[in-house]
Structure 1
Amino acid sequence: MPSKASIVMTYALLVFIWATTPLAIVWSVSDLYPLWALLFRFFIALPIILILLLTFRAKLPFDRLSIHSYIAGACSFIVAQIFVYLATPYLSSGIIALMFGLAPIIAGLIGHFAFSIHLHRLQWLGMLIAVSGLSIICLGGSNQNVHPTGIVLMLISVSIYCASIFWIKKVNAPLQPISQATGSILISCIFSLLMLPFIWQHAPDHLPHFKSLSGLLYSSIMASVFAMLCYFKLVKNVQATTMSLTTVLTPMIALFFGAFLNNEKLTVMIFMGALVLVFGLVVYFYRDLKAHDKFNKRISAKKQ
């Protein structure tokens, strides 16, 4: 079992990668057509993940159930990411991260209406507060930072991402995490090739500048490969509630990265809206956090 220090470092690294990935995406499209940047991202990530697959001596089965699971996973990779990349002209990197902070709430709604999962009153209140925060952001953002088109595209992206998670769980293929990720990236690459007839006219005719290349490499290597490895390591070793706190931490950190590294305007209204949205997430998770705290106290009492 990994040491506590190793777990803490992995958790911090995951939060850092997730907080900086939206900025890397925005940088990568600064000198590339968005969907070409997305295509390059997966084709750079594929050989790296294949090398890791061989290093860990993991299998990559191609039976019917496994392929079904890869396709389900690819929806959270390529399909959801298409809408993220299309949203980049309309939203700042901080707002993109903030929108992904809504993932647990959208997942809760999908679970409630599609799978009859019960939501507590406090969770509904948290959703209402988070949506209020998003409304404040929309009202307080300028056209360069917040645009309704970008908000809609991100809501579609996050909804597809959440639906993909439910789909993977329903398929329930007996796959190792790295096998699932490798297969999903492979399917994403195949899907990317199907986009070529529609984006060929936007093909790059020069080598992208350093900023765009660095964003592309970062999103390919750190976000598509290492963040996945950190995530699955933590899923096995920490409580689900602890994992969910990344949703609260990441958006606020991303806002500041965007402001300091990309000169993104952080108006008072946007900042206040972000605080309200994050507070809504805290309210949404409050019962889980309380239960987690009680569980830790019981464990401590038994050790004493």
Structure 2
Amino acid sequence: MRVALAFFALVLLWSTTPLAIKWSGEGPGYLFGAMGRMVIGLACMLPALLVMRQKLPLSTKALSTYLAVALQIYGAMLSTYWAAQFIPSGWISVIFGLTPMMTALMAAVWLAEKSLSPVKILAYLIGFSGLMVMFGSALEIGRESALGIAAVMFSAFLQSASSVWIKRVNSKLPAVCQVTGGLLIAVPLYIATWFCMNGQWPETLPATSLVSIIYLGAIATTVGFALYYYVLIHLPATQVALITLLTPILSLLLGNAVNHEPLSSKVLIGTALIMSALLLHQSKLSGRKRQKAALKKRA
């Protein structure tokens, strides 16, 4: 029961994150929203590190891991915050649905994992066609919307690269150490970026933006992180991956209901293609794991 509650809580958190990202930048600007979230997140993670009596190792492997995590926290998240100015929040979650496939493709190249097959290639082609439909819908809105989709794709690429990098380093650090170490690198970069590109405290900080920043920093970054690893411990990775199938649909519906974001036929078709590609990709992974388990039993 606890695992099921944690699973659905994580789905809700990940579904609301894109809309909170969009709201956090309306008023104070996307840079301030991103910086504020990460500063609050670090302020929450440091006490958690002390409570859990964990130390931050400074070995070569540990430092490489922190850099890999910072790539996601700074590079990927900054691109997402920039993109949120130009595209509906639900689109962010839909495009991020391609992340598992991008990660598998990178793992085939950098980790020599056998993650390419005819079915996988078909899934990539379906996902790519869905992305092209989304691009077409964005161009109907304006050039900036198309750039927003490109920025989210770049963000998903950086997140996938970060995951593969962490896997390649294989430092076996506790998750709380990885996130805290990454934040310790990313937060100064956020502050420096904000100072160089803006550097002014926002004249107005709407209540919606303030609540969104606090929610993202204190809840989405800390509670969401804890729930994810709790669920990952108790459920197979293939079941955890179902979150990426549920969150895009909920994000689209939430953005439409709460933020009046448009749901055109092209957006729905593109979403359906990307979700179908992800489902095909994940079902292939699940089937391969069942085959391996059966072989082990026979042995």
Q: Deviations over 1:39-67 (max 9, x none)?
A: 11111111111122222222222333322
> Aligned equivalents of 1:106 and 1:200: distance in 2?
33
RMSD after superposition: 2.3
Q: Deviations over 1:235-271 (max 9, x none)?
A: 2221111111111111111111111111101112211
> Aligned equivalents of 2:33 and 2:245: distance in 1?
28
Structure 1 pair 158–95 and aligned structure 2 pair: CA distance change class (3 A)? same
Residue equivalent to 1:184: 182
Structure 1 runs, 4 residues or longer, greater than 4 Å off: 291-298
Q: Structure 2-normalised TM-score? A: 0.91
Residue equivalent to 1:227: 224
Name which of structure 1's ranges 161-170 and 187-196 shifts more when overlaid on structure 2.
187-196
Residue equivalent to 2:152: 154
Structure 1 position 197, deviation (Å): 3.9
Residue equivalent to 1:44: 40
Letter in 1 for 2:160: C
Structure 1 pair 14–297 and aligned structure 2 pair: CA distance change class (3 A)? farther
Residue equivalent to 1:11: 7
- Which of 169, 172, 176 is equivalent to 1:171? 169
Name which of structure 1's ranges 289-298 and 249-258 shifts more when overlaid on structure 2.
289-298
Structure 1 position 71, deviation (Å): 1.3
> Aligned equivalents of 2:86 and 2:143: distance in 1?
7
Unmatched runs of 5 consecutive residues or more in structure 2: none
- Which of 22, 28, 31 is equivalent to 1:35? 31
Structure 1 pair 84–219 and aligned structure 2 pair: CA distance change class (3 A)? same
SS at match of 1:241: helix
Q: Is the 8 A contact 1:97 1:250 kept in 2?
A: yes
Q: Does 1:279 align with 2:276?
A: yes
Name which of structure 1's ranges 217-226 and 138-147 shifts more when overlaid on structure 2.
138-147
Q: Identity rate of aligned residues, in percent? A: 27
Q: Is the 8 A contact 1:90 1:145 kept in 2?
A: no
SS at match of 1:60: coil
- Match runs of 1:247-266 below 5 Å: 247-266=244-263
Q: Does 1:76 align with 2:63?
A: no
Q: Is the 8 A contact 2:74 2:190 kept in 1?
A: yes
> Aligned equivalents of 1:225 and 1:207: distance in 2?
27
Q: Is the 8 A contact 1:36 1:199 kept in 2?
A: no
Q: Is the 8 A contact 1:19 1:254 kept in 2?
A: yes
SS at match of 2:198: helix
> Aligned equivalents of 1:112 and 1:96: distance in 2?
25
Structure 1 position 294, deviation (Å): 7.7
Q: Structure 1-normalised TM-score? A: 0.90
Matched residue pairs, number?
294
Letter in 2 for 1:77: I
Structure 1 position 295, deviation (Å): 9.0
